[in-house]
Structures are given as structure tokens and as C-alpha cells.
Chain A
Amino acid sequence: MNAVPHKNLKSFLTDAVRWNLRGGIAFQIFRIFLLFGMGFGIYAYSFQARFGLSVTGMNDIVSWGLYISNFTFLVGVAAAAVMLILPAYMFHDPGFHRVVIIGEGVAVGALVMCLSFIAVDLGGPLQAWHLIPGIGLFNFPSSILAWDVLVLNGYLLLNGLVPAYILYSHYMGRKADERKYRPFVFLSIFWAFSIHMVTAFLYQGLPARPFWNNPLMGPRFLASAFAAGPALIALILAIIHSTTDYKIDRKVFRKLRLIITISAIVNLIMLFSEIFKEFYFPTHHSSSAVYLFFGMDGHNSLVPWIWTSVIINLLATLVIAFNPGKDNPKVLLPACGFLFIAVWMEKGIGLIVPGLIPSPLGEVVDYLPTWVELGVTLGILCLGITVVTWLIRTALIIEQRYEGAD
């Protein structure tokens, strides 16, 4: 508990590692499980590296699958950190100010996963240096994917550096200078909206894919992200609240519930608007939606998937909105969990795969991920969770000591 006599950047880093290696048995088992998951991911990826993407379930028609689905969804989770940053830094909400660092940790973890999912999806990941401006050739501003590379890395930088600066200041026992980081906070708010809008534009801008070529996609991305992201953060805060002595104000949960409710309802309204457009007068542009919701030519692997998602989404939104348990966490937290899963199902596989089916020439196929894809995905999720736990553990210890010193 005593302050280390010579604190500097080096001791900051070594302390962060030291704190993370300590912990109870349950925590260590959790860590080992994550390590095992990552190891399995690397093992699965080795097949992909050797034989090419043919070991995945993708083909020339369904050319994007589980990886890009997860990427798309996780961009939303990363962007959702702004729902903590906005009240914390803009409105100086004291409750949110204590938890914003956790939101930023989740954002960094989500971004690491996003970039990993992109990397494993590439046919030539070693050629990725072609994307580095200056050495490579960057198709900017024409390619929305080029925009996405830029905004994702920028957001990662912002969400890494601002909290790192604040934490480092607190670690050194001094107050972080708000004048220094405030511009970057502003920037990161702007950036959070951009990452999700740009990712939506990635799909929205393709005339070849009527299912995606839909002006509601960007706003709906935001609405679903601001429901699913805070739902995840609420769960993480609840875990922190119950397993550590970093206690979180009930007010924070109440405000998060408000954010989730509004976003989830807006999301549902937009979903119904989309469904109305597709099915009131079905054109041949509706064929992807028909495939998704009802199946086509005997192919219907996504039908149970999407209906499950829609039903869970509806029920979870109703529970969070009407609060039947009167703020009982045993009712609200599972609802948050289910909402998160429902949005993952819909904004991942339920969005990417049907966009590619039927093919522009009308062929209908089904997509099923292989064990390699599932293994790599598991590995990346474990990597992301590891990053989040490392960051949050370090942050909480520093914050607690800083608060204690005050």
C-alpha cells in the first residue's frame, strides 16, 4: 500500500503487470481459461494460414461471414463508450466520472477485437502494410474501408491515450490536467459517432446489395449500439460492484437503464420501419429480407436465428423499459444480457450474411461457419476479454489509491 519511492513510466508498467498477475484462485482459473481460448484460436488460425480461407465456411457468394459479423457488432460496443464519456466529461456527472474509465477499457478491448477480426478475415494479412500511408497506397477518400481503417485506429489511440494519461497522473499522485486532455475527449466523442457511422457506410454505400443500401442503416447502427454497449457495461459494472470493493453508485445503473431503454426502443422502431419497407410491397430488392425472415428456395438456416433475436430483443426491451422487478438487479441484469445477445445476433450474422444472399445473380446458398472460424472467433473474444480485464484491473487499483489519497 505504501507508495513506491520512485514512480515513473517504467514502474507504472511493471506495476500494471504485477497487479494483474496477482489474484484469487477463481481469478487465476478465469485467466487460464482465457489463455486456453487464445491458444485454441491460434491453433485454429494456423490452419487458415496454411490452407487459406477455404477452411472457413465462406465462399464466393457469402464472402463475408462470422468474422466481419463480429467486427460490425463490436464496432458498436466500442462506440457505445461515448454514452459514458458524454455525461462524464460534458455534463460532469460525478457517478459517471467514476466509471468512465471502465467504459473506455471496454472500448479498447472491443477495438482490439475489431482489428483482430479484420486481420484474420484478410486473405493476405502480411500484405496489410500496403495500407500504411506513405509506404503503401491508401485509397482515400474513395474507399470507405480506408476510412474505417483510419477511424478505428484513431479511436483506439484516443481511447487508449486519454485514459492512460489520466491514470498515469493519478498513479503519480497528481491531478490530471483537464486542459490537456479535454480537446481529445471532445475529439473522441466526435470519433465515436464516426466509427459506427463509417462502418455503416461501408455497407450502406454498396448499390450491389439492396439489403444494406439503406439510409437507415447508420442511425440504426447507433441506436442498437447505444442499447447493446451500455447493457454490456452495466453487466461489467455489476460484476465489478459485487466482486471488488470498488463500489458503484446505484444512480449510475439507473441512468444506464434510461440510456438503454431509449436506444432499444428507437432501435425497435427503426427495425419495424425496415420490415415494413421490405414486406409491404416486396420488390426484388427485398429478396435478402425474405431469405432472412422466411427462407428462400429451401434455404432457411437464418430463419430461426433472426426470429429468436427479434423475440429476445422485444422481451428484453420490455423488461428494461417497464422494470417489473422494481430495480431488482436479478431481473434487470439478465435482461441486459439478453438484449446484448439479441443485438449481437441481429447486428452480426443477421445483418452481414443475408446482405450477401441471394447473390447479385440470384443464387441462394446457406452459410455455416466451420470449426476454424468458431475457434478463431473464440480466441479473439478471449483476447478481448483479457485486454479488458487487464485494463480495468489496473485502472481500478490506481483509481482506488488515488481516491484514498484524496
Chain B
Amino acid sequence: MKKQIIPFAIPGLSLLLMLLLTSFALANEKSFLDTIKKTVKPFDARSVKKVRPVTRKTVLALEEYRGGSFRVLARKQEIKRYKCSNCHGEKPVLVKQGFELTHGNVIINHGRAGNELSCIDCHSEDDRDFLEDKKGRKIDFDHSYKLCGQCHFRQKRDWLGGAHGKRVSNWAGERVIYNCASCHNPHSPRFSKRFPATYSVPLN
């Protein structure tokens, strides 16, 4: 009688043993998010060795990032005909079809349809080397975020924090981020439609 129990007991026991052992392997770890939440001490990102400094021209931002300074990509050297005051002096420019000749490439597609922005909504009328906000404050081209942020204040908040836009080259080292106009064409800020850079191969 006893002998007949054994063959069934053995596989049963063995399975139990297996389950026990696998459950060892399954031992649950606590979420890493708890560890993350607990770390409040800032990480010294400048201490990371081998960080190559950003080679592109940058300027110190006029805003604060989480209580510290940061840099943005400079804009002025990217503008081909800067300085504007070379042409736009004291007197108005009176060249025939001057706008079409020098700024013909500018197509304004900014603002709600039917209510597009005009040049002087952003450019300073008195001093063409600067931008100007609604309160009449002059804004340097390198700090255009001050101007864009008037309307796009949500984007600006995200941009300051890091949820909009992005850093240049490095995640470590000094914080250098893209300026608004580094990615967006200020006259037509939407990205235009185009073909993707590559494609995924058909999988079959």
C-alpha cells in the first residue's frame, strides 16, 4: 500500500520543490522610483569627467533654471544680414522693392489664421537690431525666449524645466540648451511636412 503512494508523492514533492526554488528567483524588488524620489541632493553634473565642452557659441541665459544659471545657443551669428542697423539706420529704407529683394524669403505663417503677426509685432520699430515685447522692452536676438514666452508661456515653462526643447550635445556638464529659434523658424514656427529620414524595413 505504502509503495503505491510513493510514485505519486515523488512528482508532487518535486514540483513543490521546483516552485519553491523559482519563487526564490522571483523575490520582488522594491520600486526604483522610491530611491529616485528620496534623492534630493543635486548631482554635480560638472564633475563628470570626459565631458567635451559645447563648441557652438552660447550666451548666459537671463533666466534661472531651478535656482541656477544656464546657457543657450546664441542666435545673432546665425542671422545672415545681422546687424540690421547696417541698412536700417535713422532714416527709413527707400529702395524700390527693397523688402522683396532682401526679405523675400520671409513668409509669415505665425499666429492664428487671418490674424497673422506682422514684422513689428516682434521686431523693434526704432532699433532694428533688437526685438521688442508688448511692453516695449528691447530684447536681444540671443534672448528671443523672452519674447516668445509672452504668448507661449506654457512652452517657455517647459523649456526652462527641460520638457520642451533640448540640451546641446551633453546631458552632463554645464547646462546648454537650444534657443527657441535654433529649432523653430520664428516666421513660420511649425515644422514643415517632409519625408522621414529613413524608414523601417518591411518585416516580412
Q: Which one of A91, A142, A144, A193 contacts B15 once the chains associate, using CB atoms below 8 Å?
A: A193
- A59 B203 Cβ-Cβ under 8 A: yes
CB–CB B11/A193 < 8 A: yes
Q: Report if B14 contacts A (CB, 8 A).
A: yes
Query: With A90-B4, A141-B25 known to touch, is A190 a contact of B11 (CB < 8 Å)?
Result: yes
B79 on the A face (CB < 8 A): no
User: Given that A90-B3, A90-B4 are contacting pairs, would A198 and B18 also be in contact in the complex, using a CB cutoff of 8 Å?
Assistant: yes
Indicate if the CB atoms of B25 and A197 lie closer than 8 Å. no
| Contact assessment for B10 and A141 in the assembled complex, using a CB-CB cutoff below 8 Å | no
Minimum distance in angstroms from A155 CB to a CB of chain B: 12
Q: How far is the CB of A7 from chain B (nearest CB, A)?
A: 34
Residues on A with beta carbons closer than 8 Å to the beta carbon of B22 = 141, 144, 201, 205
Cβ of A141: which chain B residues have Cβ within 8 Å of it?
A: 21-22, 24-25
Question: Does A177 lie at the interface of the complex (its beta carbon under 8 Å from any beta carbon of B)?
Answer: no
What number of A residues sit within 8 Å (CB to CB) of B?
25
Tell me if B204 is interfacial: C-beta within 8 Å of chain A: yes
Question: In the complex the two chains form, is B14's CB within 8 Å of A194's CB?
Answer: yes
A266 at the interface (CB under 8 A from B): no
Q: How far in angstroms is the closest Cβ of chain B from A354?
A: 15
| Residues A35-72 near B (CB distance < 8 A) | 59-61
On whether the beta carbons of B7 and A365 are closer than 8 Å, the reply is no
Chain A residues contacting B13 (CB-CB under 8 Å) are 190
Contact status B18-A194, CB under 8 Å: yes
Most buried by A among B6, B11, B15: B11
A156 to B74, CA, bound (A): 71
The range of chain B's interface size is: 10 to 19
A88 and B120 CA atoms in complex are apart in Å by 99
B7→A189 contact, CB < 8 A: yes
- Min distance, Cβ A292 to any Cβ of chain B, angstroms: 17
Interchain CA distance A230-B102 in the complex, whole Å: 90
Query: Quick one: closest B residue to A367, CB to CB?
Result: B204
B residues 24-70 with Cβ under 8 Å of A?
Answer: 24-25
Q: Is A310 close to B, CB under 8 A?
A: no
Residues 168-204 of chain B, each 1 if its beta carbon lies under 8 Å from chain A, else 0: 0000000000000000000000000000000000011
Contact A189 B10 (CB under 8 A): yes
A91-B4 in contact given A141-B21, A197-B18 (Cβ < 8 Å): yes
A341: Cβ under 8 A from any B Cβ = no
List A contacts of B11 (CB < 8 A).
Answer: 189-190, 193
Q: Are A86 and B7 in contact (CB under 8 A)?
A: yes
| Residue in contact with A365 in the complex, picked from B3, B14, B203, CB distance below 8 Å | B203
| Given known contacts A141-B24, A194-B18, A90 and B203 CB-to-CB distance under 8 angstroms | no
Assess whether B203 is in contact with A363, with CB atoms less than 8 Å apart.
yes
Q: A278 an interface residue at 8 Å Cβ cutoff?
A: no
- Contact (A193, B14) CB under 8 Å given A90-B3, A90-B4, A90-B7: yes
Taking the nearest CB of chain A, how far is it from the CB of B38, in angstroms?
27
Point out the residues of chain B lying under 8 angstroms from A147, CB to CB: 18
> In the assembly, what is the distance between CA of A189 and CA of B8, in Å?
10
CA distance A91 to B24 in the complex (A): 36
Does residue A274 face the partner (Cβ distance < 8 Å to B)? Answer: no
Q: Which of B3, B4, B14, B203 contacts A61 (CB 8 A)?
A: B203
A193 to chain B, nearest CB (A): 4
Q: Which residues of B contact A90 (CB under 8 A)?
A: 3-4, 6-7
Can you list, as one digit per residue, whether each of A128-139 has a CB less than 8 Å from chain B (1) or not (0)? 000000000000
Complex Cα gap A316–B109 (Å): 74
B11 to chain A, nearest CB (A): 4
Task: Give the shortest distance, in Å, between B58 (CB) and chain A (any CB).
Answer: 39
Q: How far is the CB of B201 from chain A (nearest CB, A)?
A: 11
Looking at the assembled complex, report how far the CB atom of B29 sits from the nearest CB atom of chain A, in whole angstroms: 13
How far, in angstroms, from A59 to B18 measured CA to CA in the complex?
A: 33
Chain B residues within an 8 Å CB radius of A399:
none
A175 to B14, CA, bound (A): 31
Q: Which of A86, A144, A190 has the most CB of B within 10 A?
A: A190
Q: Nearest Cβ in chain B — how far from A140, in angstroms?
A: 9
Instruction: Tell me, yes or no, whether A30 is within 8 Å of chain B by CB.
Output: no
5 residue pairs bridging A and B, Cβ less than 8 Å apart: A141-B25, A147-B18, A190-B11, A201-B18, A365-B203
Beyond the given A193-B11, A363-B203, could you list 8 further A-B residue pairs with CB under 8 A, ordered by the A residue number? A60-B203, A90-B4, A141-B22, A186-B10, A190-B11, A194-B18, A299-B204, A365-B203
Closest 7 CB pairs of A and B: A365-B204, A193-B11, A190-B14, A142-B25, A90-B7, A190-B10, A141-B25
